[in-house]
Amino acid sequence: MRLCVIRRACGSLRIYPARPGSRVTDLSRRCQTLPGGLANSRMILRAASATTSGGTDPLVTVNRSQKEDRLECDTSLREVVQSTKEAMVALQRRNPAAHPLLAIIQAGEDDSWLEINKKMAGKIELNITQICLAKECSEDEIVEELLRLNEDPKVHGIYLHLPPASLTSRVLNTLKPEKDIDGISDLNMGRLVRGDLSKVFVPPRASAVLDLLEKHDASSEGKTILLVGGEGSFGLTLQCLIEKNGMVALKSNWNSKSLQRQLMEADAVVLLGAEDMDVPPTWFRPGAVVIRCEPTLATDEHAAEMSSKSGLGDLTAAYRMQNVVHSYSRWLQEQQYQPWHLRTLKLQPLMPVPSDIEISRAQKPKPVDQLAEQIGLLPEELEAYGRSKAKVQLSLLNRLHAQPDGKYVLVAGITPTPLGEGKSTVTIGLVQALSAHLKLNSFACLRQPSQGPTFGVKGGAAGGGYAQVIPMEEFNLHLTGDIHAITAANNLVAAAIDARILHESTQSDKALFSRLVPSVSGVRKFSPIQISRLRRLGINKTEPASLTPQEVHTFVRLDLDPSKITWQRVVDTNDRFLRKITVGQASTEKGLIRETGFDIAVASEIMAILALADSLEDMKNRLARMVVGTSRSGQPVTAEDLGVSGALAVLMKDAIKPTLMQTLEGTPVFVHAGPFANIAHGNSSVLADKLALKLVGRDGFVVTEAGFGADIGMEKFFNIKCRASGLRPNVVVLVATVRALKMHGGGPNVSAGTPLPKEYIDENVDLVAGGCYSNLRKQIQIAHLFGMPVVVALNVFRTDTQAEIDLVCQIAKECGASDAVPCYHWAQGGRGSIELAQAVNEAANTPSNFQFLYHLEMPIVEKIRVIAQKVYGAEDIELSPEAKAKIDYYNQQGYGSLPICMAKTHLSLSHMPDKKGAPTGFVLPIRDVRASIGAGFIYPLVGTMSTMPGLPTRPCFYDIDLDPVTEEITGLF
């Protein structure tokens, strides 16, 4: 047994170390095989829990010797101890790390009752933590300790060894029912009285009394048990348990005129309290068992000694320890995968379809904690952000590490047009159909929308119509602040770069060293991040005073070349005038003026790291590896060299957790990482996908979305994200629309917000066929390059005719799609995508032959060429002198084996936005090549690609407004 004693008094805290060498075991096997039904309720109850302290109750059987009574107690005690030990061994066999822990909150020093409990814990080899409060402790002090123990996952049972006056209603109901091994909380007692024994803990004293009654008479069913006195909760509990075990429980009190008659008629008598009452032996029936139960916390040492001699105190303690082990077994069972019991929300679609925001507001989402419980998340794995969204702890991956993954579905699209193809809408409609209608567990994994498009050119990104994430205002605006955290972290790096250049230019080595390694209380020492830099420089010293002048110079001088700083600031707004700026113009900056610029926040390398990291540690390491520029000697300078990587991890520690939301039909959604697959890799996070794949179970589905067309988002999903995650998808859903296919088939250009030309309103099968045989076919072929089956989802608009719909589905199958189906989720919700869900289910259960497009060992130039020729259809690539120089530099630095993330227009398979369909014969110009070393990829810039979008003449924000009375948002999509 390991014992840790914590004494709290007068604000001081002393911790006495635990003794090592404890052996830990487990109860789960026994608990899982316990028989059910009321006939076996006593056995079930013994594997549960209890009230407060052990009893002082002598056991007497009229006309029998004390020795015989003692033998019955000893037999019961041995059986309980042995069964609990066996349960511990079974638990440890299944889980060698099993470590049940009992926490005791006591007032004052140890007494005989606590010694009995500690002795019993030692026999069963349980670990104990004692919190010793002052003898006259306040209610607040007790509650404070309870709240702490409630949330401690290492504690599996809490025993309140306190005076009765301290066991107030507030104290009892603060105690978490799952840890209430004495069964004293209102919830525990209510469940017991109601007969809900699945979660209840039975008071150990009650279990001990029932045990002795059984030992006295094996066929106790139908016997009459008289309870005398005890108007409190223990008497009521005992009465319920006696009746549930087939006996007749009668109540009486010490002042009853018929007490002598009642005692004589009873087969057994339990005397509750009133320890000073003296009942003549002649009042009892010959052979009747008489059990005296003293108050729950006696201070009489003689009473405790008598209780121990009679065996009932020991037996009560043994049942208390059994309850702790059973509590641990329940906790272990809760850690296993839990089947879903998803309650979906009903939809009542209206015609004509209202605006997205009206639909969103008409549906009341489930509280996020209810949604979490329905999909098997534990309360401690959830961090609520209001009522409708919550962060999910990454510890879920450890808890469910042995759980098989579900099916993995990627939603991509044909080359997008200003008309919008609706990938997010299809993704949501598909998971609504899978979960709400086919009753298959499914999760949507979406990217968090950027504020830039929300207020710029696109509007909301929560889906549309009756296939949305709700509440859509919360989805589109701030969410849980991940993009703001990225912005803060990114700009902290930018500030650190310019500050370091300034300080290095104005200070000597000695002054720099003195400030970088300051003397605190006369002691100068390196921080851990500085020691890491010393190691990378080959300086294996930890004492600042031991560095030579040359080592000090090497340590303090990053010597960044201002012309080769690659790190830019970011802001989550489309602000074209920040594409190129000049910084350092204030007189205080010593003339250190340089040109730099802003990217949009979601194009930050930190966003890519967030999306590709598979743990907090991995994210921290990636942040440290980020290269921000080059020194004048040609060496890369990292965020860790700047000393900022630990601070970045702190800023990002909450952002790494995916955000849980729900669809209109109450099915779960993870929202994580950012968009912009044209200038970033544009996929939702690895962690969101991994968490969802565990939660849905072997037969469930995770539907994740890639940005823009299959040539960009899907290619990056396979070549970058799948390499980072190790996950392999089962099927690709390729989204198309008749309107977009008409444009790719030769239809006129359109602009957002202007009336549609008649070609997009009237039936035109020739344009549809042209788009299918060019862009749609090419995108299907791209998926086949990776060995993936393709299901084409035709997102139907009200202007589409049946002939056009049938033609798209027919040609898609001719071009190699496994299936092609029309989808009506925008107007009907999940019911409108049932056919798509069935097609995806069938395709996901067929073998796939996934493969990467290129090997990482290929030269950087060849990897770029493979993507350009096989994916885009280019004849070749053309590198600018700057791009060639950058590639040579990255090869010298050992970055040549990284995958490629092309920054290219999303509006065409080529680099020319106006070239629709499937252009061929063009040469792809590579203007520049940059490296995101922390994220782990090289990204070439194709043509005139910009990393900062601009606002149009009439941005979306013209329509967005707030009612100051109702606080309702209007105009948000």
Q: DSSP letter at 755?
A: P
Bridge pairing between strands 523-524 and 560-565: unpaired
Q: Which of 318, 444, 677, 680 is catalytic?
A: 677
Q: Do residues 610 and 684 touch, judged by C-beta distance below 8 A?
A: no
Q: Which of 513, 708, 717, 937 is catalytic?
A: 708
Classify domain 483-652 by CATH architecture.
Answer: 2-Layer Sandwich (3.30)
pLDDT of residue 30: 27
Q: Which of 85, 223, 423, 863 is catalytic?
A: 423
> For residue 474, with 0-12 CB atoms within 10 Å meaning exposed, 13-18 middle and 19 or more buried, which class applies?
buried
In the chain, where the domains are located: 65-332, 356-479+657-736+822-845, 483-652, 860-941
Q: Which of 458, 778, 831, 865 is catalytic?
A: 458
Q: How big, in percent rounded to 5, are the helix, strand and coil portions of the chain? A: 45, 15, 40
User: How far apart (Å, rounded) are the C-alpha atoms in residues 479 and 486?
Assistant: 13
Residues 900-930 have pLDDT tens digits of 999 999 999 999 999 999 999 999 999 999 9
Classify domain 356-479+657-736+822-845 by CATH architecture.
Answer: 3-Layer(aba) Sandwich (3.40)
Torsion (CA) 351, 357, 359, 364 in degrees, nearest 10: -170
Q: Which of 425, 573, 659, 667 is catalytic?
A: 425
User: How far apart (Å, rounded) are the C-alpha atoms in residues 211 and 313?
Assistant: 13
Question: Under CATH, to which class is 65-332 assigned?
Answer: alpha beta
Q: Which of 881-885, 892-896, 940-944 is predicted with the least confidence, judged by mean pLDDT?
A: 940-944
Is there a catalytic annotation at residue 458? yes
Element (H, E) at 249: strand 248-252
Q: Which of 292, 399, 407, 447 is catalytic?
A: 447
Cα 180 from chain centroid? 27
Pick the CATH number of 860-941 from 3.10.410.10, 3.40.50.150, 3.40.1440.10, 3.40.50.300: 3.10.410.10
User: How far apart (Å, rounded) are the C-alpha atoms in residues 894 and 754?
Assistant: 50
* Statement: residue 364 has pLDDT above 70: yes
Residues belonging to the chain: 973
Q: Cα–Cα distances in Å, from 312 out to 210, 291, 319, 320?
A: 11, 9, 11, 12
Residues 453-512 have pLDDT tens digits of 677 665 556 788 999 999 988 888 888 999 999 999 999 999 999 999 999 999 999 999
| Both structure tokens of 509 | 């080595």
User: How far apart (Å, rounded) are the C-alpha atoms in residues 251 and 227?
Assistant: 5
Q: Do residues 710 and 741 touch, judged by C-beta distance below 8 A?
A: no
Q: DSSP letter at 772?
A: I
- Would you put residue 392 in left (φ > 0), alpha (ψ -120 to 50) or beta? beta
> For residue 320, with 0-12 CB atoms within 10 Å meaning exposed, 13-18 middle and 19 or more buried, which class applies?
buried
Q: Which of 234, 826, 937, 973 is catalytic?
A: 826
Cα 719 from chain centroid? 26
| Both structure tokens of 954 | 């009439």
pLDDT of residue 67: 59
Q: Which of 168, 309, 797, 852 is catalytic?
A: 797
* Statement: residue 412 has pLDDT above 80: yes
pTM (predicted TM-score): 0.85
| Both structure tokens of 18 | 């635990």
Amino acid at 640: E
Whether 65-332 and 356-479+657-736+822-845 share one fold: the answer is yes
- pLDDT band of residue 308 (cuts 50, 70, 90) is very low
* Statement: residue 554 has pLDDT above 60: yes
Residues whose CB is less than 8 angstroms from the CB of residue 871 and which lie 6 or more positions away in sequence, other chains included: 711, 715, 782, 785, 853, 909
Is there a catalytic annotation at residue 797? yes
Is there a catalytic annotation at residue 657? no
Is there a catalytic annotation at residue 903? no
Residues 573-621 have pLDDT tens digits of 888 888 899 999 998 988 899 999 998 888 899 999 999 999 999 999 9
* Statement: residue 878 has pLDDT above 70: yes
pLDDT of residue 753: 65
